[in-house]
Homo-oligomer: A and B are copies of this chain.
Amino acid sequence: MPIRQSDCWILTGYPEGMPNDATFRRESRPVPPAGEGEVLLETLYLSVDPYMRGRMSPVKSYVAPLQPGDVIGGEVVAQVVESRDARFVAGDLVLAPLGWCTAGVLSGAALQKLSLPAGRASLALGALGMPGLTAYFGLLDVGRPRPGETVLVSGAAGAVGSIVGQIARLMGCRAVGVAGSEEKVRWLTEELGFDAALNYKAHEDLREALAPLCPSGVDVYFDNVGGTVSDAVLGLINLRARVAICGQIAQYNAKNPPRGTRPFATLLVRRARAEGFIVFDFKERFPEAQRRLADWVKEGRLKVRETVVEGFENAPKAFLGLFSGENTGKMVVRVR
C-alpha cells in the first residue's frame, strides 16, 4: 500500500546558541508517487550528528546551511517500499539522504544498498558509515600515527572517538581517551581496550591530570571537541605532533567566536601540524575503508556500541543530547 504522507522534522529558524525544542517543528508532508528511476522509502533509523548544528546557522560552513522551513538533512537507514529503479526491490535496505522524515521518494542514484542484516543496519550510520570513515581517514591520513606513538582522542566515547582509539590500538599505538563521565571512561578502558582514559569533568587541571596517562607525550591528537580540553592536550604534544581537527563540539553553540589560549606558539615551538579535514575529501577511498572497518567489526577487533533513542518524535531530543554527552558511541533514532 503506497505511503501518502511522511512525518518530518523542520527547522523553524536559526537558533542563537544552544538549539532547543522551539528550533524544530513536526510537520506532515505529502509523499509523491515514485516516478521513473525513483524509489519509495520508509525510514528505519535516522541519524543525529554534531555536524548538523553547523547547518542550522546562516554562516557558510563545509556543508550548505539549511533554510528555515527545510527538513533537517541527514542520512537514514531505510527500507524500499516500492521501486521504479531496476537496481532495487521492495524490502531492500538502503542508506538514503532522506533527512528527519519517516518516509519519502528519492532517486535511486542517491541510494546505497546495504548488505547488513536488518538488526545491524544502523551500523551504516555509525561504525561502517560516516563516523567510522571519519575516524579512519582522520586518524590514518591526517594524524598518520606510527607504531609506538601515543594517540589522544577527545570526545573519545562518541561515534567517531570510540573508533579512533580502537584503530590506534590496531596500529600499535598507545590510545588515550578524554570523555565526559566515569562510566564512559570505564567503557573505553575495560571494553574497548584504550590504554587509558579520563573524565575531563573530574579534573580542575586537565593538563596535569593527563600528563601521567601520556608518559611519552602526545604524538597525534584527534580533536573532536576543542576548547579547554584542547588547551590541555596541546600542552603535552611532542615535537612534530599532528593534530587532526575533526570537530569542535564545545564551540558549536557559542554565540560569539570563542576565545582562549592561542595555540600557534605551541605549534611553532613543537614544530607541530594542526589540520582540519572532512571525510568527503576521501570519497574515492571509501570502499577500501569500509571493507577494512567491516572486517574489523566481524573479527571482533572493533567493538561498537550505539545509543538508540526510540521513536521518531524523539529525534530533536536525541540531537540535543549530543551536546550534553548523553550518547555512548553512535546516537541513532529508531523510527520503526
| Chain A residues near B (Cβ < 8 Å) | 54, 61-62, 223, 226-227, 230, 243, 245-248, 251, 257-265, 267-278, 281
Which of B245, B251, B259, B261 contacts A267, CB < 8 Å? B245
Which of B262, B268, B276 contacts A260, CB < 8 Å? B262
User: Please, could you name 23 A-B residue pairs with CB atoms under 8 Å apart, sorted by A?
Assistant: A54-B269, A61-B269, A62-B269, A227-B262, A230-B264, A243-B264, A245-B267, A245-B268, A248-B265, A251-B262, A257-B261, A257-B262, A257-B265, A258-B262, A259-B259, A263-B263, A267-B274, A267-B276, A268-B276, A271-B275, A271-B278, A274-B274, A274-B275
| Most-contacted residue by chain B among A248, A264, A267 (CB, 10 A) | A264
| Most-contacted residue by chain B among A230, A274, A276 (CB, 10 A) | A276
In the bound complex, how far is the Cα of B278 from the Cα of A246, in angstroms?
A: 26
Could you tell me if B230 and A248 are in contact, using CB atoms closer than 8 angstroms? Answer: no
Closest to A230 in B: B264
Contacts of A230 in B (CB 8 A): 264
**Within the complex, what minimum Cβ distance (angstroms) separates A271 from chain B?**
5
A269-B62, A271-B277, A273-B275 are contacts. A261–B263 as well, Cβ < 8 Å? no
Could you tell me if B62 and A265 are in contact, using CB atoms closer than 8 angstroms? Answer: no
Could you tell me if B272 and A275 are in contact, using CB atoms closer than 8 angstroms? Answer: yes
Contacts of A273 in B (CB 8 A): 273-276
